[in-house]
Amino acid sequence: MDWRSISFDWNQVRAFLATVEEGSLSAAARVLGQAQPTLGRQVTALEEALGVTLFDRVGKSLVLTPSGVDLLDHVRDMGEAATRISLAAAGQSQEIAGDVRISAADSTAAYILPDILADLRAQAPAIRIEISVSNEISDLRRREADIAIRHVPPKEPDLVARKLPGSMGHLYAAPSYLARYGRPQTVDDLIDHIFIGVDQTDRMIEVLRQHGLNLGHTNFPLLSSNTVAIWEMVRKGLGIGIMSEQIASRTESVEKIDPPGFLPIPVPVWLTTHQELHTSRRIRLVFDFLVERLSA
């Protein structure tokens, strides 16, 4: 498109179209809420910008010239398009609709988000939510998600983040496991127990060591990169697992077994989105809703 060739503005076009539709400058000025001289100057400016004469002045009347007649259909198309834009904008102001993709770790997606999304659907049924389940950090700048629930703050300057009340990670086991292997009374008792760990065992062993547990690889005969699978194995009595209290409190058939000397593991929560997307009404609504519910 040759933008340099477009030297008129919509107000001039609207003045011309209203004059044609209403039959005179005075009638057009009334419907547009303008002074007649102002409207006349807009029509004249359009004629100068286009290099054509649109009206012949016959006494006190205006008569379309052949050039004006030729342009009228195009101008009416512009008017109809402007009307559609106004209606669409008005509709959006009454109803928030569209897609929003949320990135979350598997345990958050499985155990926390469903209740939240049920209430969100009741409040904004025209929003379609897609959950992107990943334990890796999604790239919001590449639109892998619109909103991310993370355990670390973003480093990118063009991302908007809100730190939410976090949770604490504790040791949990099923009653069936405790019946077979006994309840640990001290951190030293845990050396002989079975743990279910993530596949990055070395990292997990180091984190647990910082929190009072001295375990080795032999304590982790069961591994998974999926925390939902880990948690289900804990529930079935296969071993001891670590889970945030926020999720464990929603789970039946598990017991907290922290012995004296074990330091609970902080589980921070950050809600993140791109600063440009934060101005979208539907994304802002979902973002604020998640802030409210995850904070509760």
Split at pLDDT 50, 70, 90, the class of 50 is confident
Kindly report, residue by residue over 170-180, the tens digit of the pLDDT: 999 999 999 99
Give domain limits for the chain: 3-94, 98-166+268-295, 167-266
Distances 239 to 28, 152, 215 between C-alpha atoms, Å: 81, 28, 14
Is domain 3-94 classified as CATH 3.30.1330.10?
A: no
Q: What is the reported pLDDT for 93?
A: 46
Mean pLDDT of the residues in the chain: 88
Q: What is the reported pLDDT for 136?
A: 86
Average pLDDT over residues 57-71: 85
CATH class of 98-166+268-295: alpha beta
Q: What is the reported pLDDT for 155?
A: 86
Kindly report, residue by residue over 75-116, the tens digit of the pLDDT: 888 888 877 766 455 445 455 888 899 999 999 999 999 999
The residue with tokens 């669409």 is: 88
Q: Is the pLDDT of residue 148 over 70?
A: yes
Q: What is the reported pLDDT for 224?
A: 95
Q: Are 257 and 184 in contact, with CB atoms under 8 Å apart?
A: yes
Q: Which two tokens stand for residue 76?
A: 């009416």
Q: What is the reported pLDDT for 13?
A: 87
Kindly report, residue by residue over 242-281, the tens digit of the pLDDT: 999 999 998 989 999 999 999 999 999 999 998 877 677 8
Q: What is the reported pLDDT for 206?
A: 94
Q: How many helices (H) and strands (E) does the chain have?
A: 11, 11
Q: What is the reported pLDDT for 88?
A: 57
Q: Is the pLDDT of residue 41 over 60?
A: yes
Q: What is the reported pLDDT for 10?
A: 82
Average pLDDT over residues 222-235: 95
What 212-218 contacts at long range (C-beta under 8 Å, 24+ apart), as own/partner pairs, is 212/187, 212/261, 212/262, 212/263, 213/187, 213/262, 214/187, 215/190, 215/191
Q: What is the reported pLDDT for 205?
A: 93
Q: What is the reported pLDDT for 216?
A: 94
Q: What is the reported pLDDT for 159?
A: 87
Which of 39, 66, 40 has its CA nearest to residue 53? 66
Topology adopted by domain 167-266: D-Maltodextrin-Binding Protein; domain 2 (3.40.190)
Regarding predicted confidence, which is higher, 145 or 280?
Answer: 145
Average pLDDT over residues 137-161: 85
pTM of the predicted structure, to 2 decimals: 0.66
> What secondary structure letter does DSSP report for 81?
H
Domains 98-166+268-295 and 167-266 share a fold: yes
Kindly report, residue by residue over 184-221, the tens digit of the pLDDT: 999 999 999 999 998 888 999 999 999 999 999 999 99
